[in-house]
């Protein structure tokens, strides 16, 4: 799979407790979108803390583990493929934040041995 040099970066900010049809939303996004859009890897990062839309602190402190830690999913691909996925994503998400920005791909290759 080749990612074009001039691509876009789609960032999806959701909470760990967000759901889509009883499945964690982050799993649904990765499991439903990766095969459909042929994305080989969708990085998911779990945050340690954030201020949600209501300015309520979600934290992973040792004494008070939040049940809704922030998760960020990042997708880099052609603008056409990402734009085609946006309606699917919109249907899956109840809340959260989605951003889109231009990205210049410097290097993309598999981890194969030389």
pTM (two decimals): 0.75
CATH of the domain at 62: 3.30.70.120
What is the predicted pLDDT for the residue at 9?
92
What is the predicted pLDDT for the residue at 25?
93
Quick one: three-class SS letters along 3-54? CCCEEEEEEEEEECCCEECCEEHHHHHHHHHHHHHCCCCCCEEECCEEECCC
Mean pLDDT for back-to-back runs of 10 residues, the chain (114 residues): 85 90 90 76 63 53 61 89 92 92 82 55
Domain count, the chain: 1
Residue 62 lies in a domain: yes
Backbone angles phi, psi at 73, to 5 degrees: -110, 130
What is the predicted pLDDT for the residue at 40?
64
What is the domain range of residue 54? 6-104
Separation CA 62–CA 25 (nearest Å): 25
Residue 65 lies in a domain: yes
Instruction: Say if CB 42 and CB 110 are below 8 A apart.
Output: no
Closest CA relative to residue 82, chosen from 98, 60, 70: 98
């Amino acid at each position: 799979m080749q990612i074009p040099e001039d691509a876009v970066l789609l960032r999806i900010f959701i909470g760990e407790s967000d759901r889509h049809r009883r499945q964690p939303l982050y799993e649904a996004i990765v499991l439903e979108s990766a095969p459909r859009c042929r994305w080989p890897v969708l990085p998911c990062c779990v945050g340690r803390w954030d201020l949600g839309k209501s300015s309520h602190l979600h934290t992973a402190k040792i004494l008070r583990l939040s049940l809704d830690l922030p998760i960020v999913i990042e997708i880099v691909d052609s603008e056409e493929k990402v734009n085609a996925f946006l309606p699917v994503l919109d249907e899956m998400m109840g809340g959260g934040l989605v951003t889109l920005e231009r990205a210049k791909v410097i290097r993309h290759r598999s981890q194969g041995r030389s």
